Chain A
Amino acid sequence: EAGVTQSPTHLIKTRGQQATLRCSPISGHTSVYWYQQALGLGLQFLLWYDEGEERNRGNFPPRFSGRQFPNYSSELNVNALELEDSALYLCASSWRGHLLDPYEQYFGPGTRLTVT
């Protein structure tokens, strides 16, 4: 079974530009989560999508946005990039219908975003 996939692997952007990151969940999973992993800061929750709807949002400015498509894949958009947006962006997926562990999340390899 294929795991969570993310693209691109690396992304280099200039301050002020926009970045688009993509995620495909594990087959059968309907929830997608986005996390930011900046150096030394652990994983910070960004966004949670389930069944095409945004269900929860972390403490990030509105220039971080995203959406989930009918096939449950998702994209994260970061507008007006700032230097401190440089980080590893991780996508995770889960199946909320899992009776025992609806919170069981599986991560992709991440997209390394560098803002210069």
Chain B
Amino acid sequence: QQQVKQSPQSLIVQKGGISIINCAYENTAFDYFPWYQQFPGKGPALLIAIRPDVSEKKEGRFTISFNKSAKQFSLHIMDSQPGDSATYFCAAGGGSQGNLIFGKGTKLSVKP
């Protein structure tokens, strides 16, 4: 019940295209859903996060869509750029446990 399932494992997108990464969770106590971006040799960087009281949040080219009834959320990267090539992790948190539960990551490659 603590798992966060992320797909796909890897994604190749052409420059200017839309990258879509999906996550599903099981624990209905989760109420915080962030996305992190990680470049090789670096720590994960917080990209964007959403609470379940909204269905969508947009920051620049990055959008989170959230479906509470399906217990799913996704990251959309519009106008993908080669500089977006990185590993993306979804996560979920909430309740009293404090820590985040992470998906296994998606390696995104944006081809010029």
Listed in ascending order, the chain A residues whose CB lies under 8 Å from chain B are: 4, 31, 33, 35, 40-45, 48, 50, 55-56, 58, 90, 96, 101, 103-110
Contact = CB atoms under 8 A, between A and B. Distances in A.
Contacts of B34: 103-105
User: Which of A43, A48, A104 counts the most chain B CB atoms within 10 A?
Assistant: A43
A42 B105 contact: yes
19 contacts: A4-B43, A42-B89, A42-B104, A42-B105, A43-B44, A45-B99, A48-B97, A50-B98, A56-B98, A56-B99, A90-B43, A90-B44, A96-B98, A103-B34, A103-B93, A105-B34, A106-B46, A107-B45, A107-B46
A8 to B, nearest CB: 15
Contact of B46 (A45, A96, A105): A105
A33 B36 CA distance: 16
A45 to B, nearest CB: 4
Interface in B1-50: 32, 34, 36, 41-46, 49
A31 B89 contact: no
Given A90-B44, A103-B32, A48 B49 contact: no
Contact of B101 (A40, A45, A48, A55): A45
A48 B89 contact: no
Contacts of B102: 35, 42-44
B98 A48 contact: yes
A15 B36 CA distance: 32
A27 to B, nearest CB: 17
B49 A101 contact: yes
Contacts of B91: 43
A4 B104 CA distance: 23
B24 to A, nearest CB: 15
A44 B32 CA distance: 18
A43 B97 CA distance: 16
Given A42-B89, A42-B105, A43-B89, A103 B100 contact: yes
Contacts of A101: 32, 49
A108 B43 contact: yes
